[in-house]
Chains A and B, each alone.
With several copies, the nearest count.
Chain A
Amino acid sequence: MNSVDFTKWFEIWTSEIQTHKIHLSDLDNAIGDGDHGFNMAKGVAAYQEAHLNKQDLSIGDECKLIGMSMLSKVGGASGPLYGSAFLAMAKSFGDTKEITHDQLVAALTAGVESIMYRGKASRYEKTMIDVWLPVIESLKQNNLTEEMIDSFVNETGPLKATKGRAAYLGDRSIGHIDPGSFSSGLLFKALLKLI
């Protein structure tokens, strides 16, 4: 993937986030505090604006730009989690304009590790990790499809949350899709369009 496609990835994702803003907040309303859509929209808007003045960024710098936007504009849990994931990816990619499939997998792995480190969470706790990990798994096996991503997102529904704000609901969190998983699903479905 070259840097033009890479930038397109974030372009598609960020516009998808704007489109699904209300839906993301509604999901968060059910088991959290109803701001996930607003949080994410604010972060991606900051990225979109910052992007206007930048041209021909390396893939690493592109990741850094979106990471810093999330980190400095979003707040909440998702801001620093997405932020540190993108920053870890930036570090993993480095100053390049073309990446291989393996580099992509390695960077995403660094990203999810950063999320897990910051969020002190692992799989099946009903967080975005439940999308990142299986997506990376499937990417490795080169068989990721949109349907799979949707099912990873939907599979957070039956889980009982043990991390994040939804964890305070205990059993009452069961039956609702995790909002951060939904926004991560959008991220990977956008990626799928370009690889």
Chain B
Amino acid sequence: MKKILNRPEDVVEEMINGLVATHDNIVHRVGDTRVVARNYEGNGKVGLVSGGGSGHEPSHAGFVGKGMLSAAVCGDVFTSPTVDQVYEGIKAADKGAGVFLVIKNYTGDLINFTMAKEMAEDMDNIKVDSVTVNDDIAVEGSTWTEGRRGVAGTVLVHKILGAMAENNATLDEIKNESEILINEMATLGLALTPAIVPQAGKPGFELADDEIEFGLGIHGEPGYRRAKLHESKAMAQEFIDKIVAELKLKEGEEVVAFVNGMGGTPLMEQYVFMNDVLNILKGLNIHVTRKIIGNKMTSIEMQGISLTLLRIKNKRWVEYLDQEVKVAAW
């Protein structure tokens, strides 16, 4: 393991300290909790709370600030935060209009966020609601299983719901919109190299020098297919075919295209991939109204990429995406 670190067990602590010191004009740490909250008060507005395991930087703390998240709860690397930490996050985010939780669909996140929600409701009378993002279509969902994982699309959910909250939407309005939103988006990712959890010290899986894995999760969970490394164009085509089929995207429809780097993949490659994505979508006569690129929902140093398409069912989503924010990483 080659990393710029001190003791592996201190990585999350030191990272949070570095983060809040760097962005002290935007965020602060709540006491000695694992909660990064915004300096902006937003009194009377719904508070938006997200979080999950660390290792996805700039998610989620990099999206805390005016117009986006009220607080992010940072778990250990790739491990959902604990109940009491999420509970602290909810309390920090409550400004009188209730708190909305953006949960990614993993058992751990769901249980911890749900139990924290119950605590805040029962003990503090805070109105709490939530959405469970499950944009990763690599894993087939059914009501009998865990369903699909929540991955990069979560960032778009933060941005759109964050703008709504900033514009004084109510908890119910946010809840309703969130359910529409998550049904209009789909993501697929692939990895060229694995991520190494500092405390584990070794990669969670191995890939040969010419192998890639399609459909890999943001914690290195195995995907749907191993393949030989091939051209960017072909990878973009595979993703678009699957996403278009899943969303039943039709000619003339409008989408947001979000190319997300997994942490170790340079922007050079992300732009090349985006170029292929846009060319293919153009060929399908699907209009890309907004393009978003960069390392936003990462998997530590993993080399890889994901593509999220969001059908613009509501024109206001574009305005929400465009709305000014004051966060570290949008």
Contacts and interface: CB of A to CB of B under 8 A. Distances in A.
Contacts of A83: 83
Interface in A49-72: 71-72
B107 A77 contact: yes
Interface stretch (B94-102, B140-148, B178-186): B140-148
Interface of B: 53, 75-85, 106-108, 111-112, 114-115, 138-140, 144-146, 149, 197, 199-200, 204-205, 217, 219-222
Contacts of A39: 76, 79
B221 A71 contact: no
Interface residues of A, number: 33
A168 B224 CA distance: 9
Interface string A123-162: 0000000000000000000000000000000000000001
A71 B83 contact: yes
Interface of A: 25, 29, 32-35, 38-39, 42, 71-81, 83-84, 118-119, 162-165, 167-170, 172
A172 B217 CA distance: 14
Given A71-B84, A72-B82, A170-B140, A162 B146 contact: yes
Contacts, number: 110
By CB atoms of chain B within 10 A, which of A71, A79, A164 has the most? A79
A42 B81 CA distance: 13
A71 B114 CA distance: 13
7 contacts: A33-B221, A35-B76, A35-B197, A39-B79, A79-B83, A80-B112, A162-B144
B80 A76 contact: yes
B226 to A, nearest CB: 11
Contacts of B139: 167-168, 170
Contacts of B53: 75-76
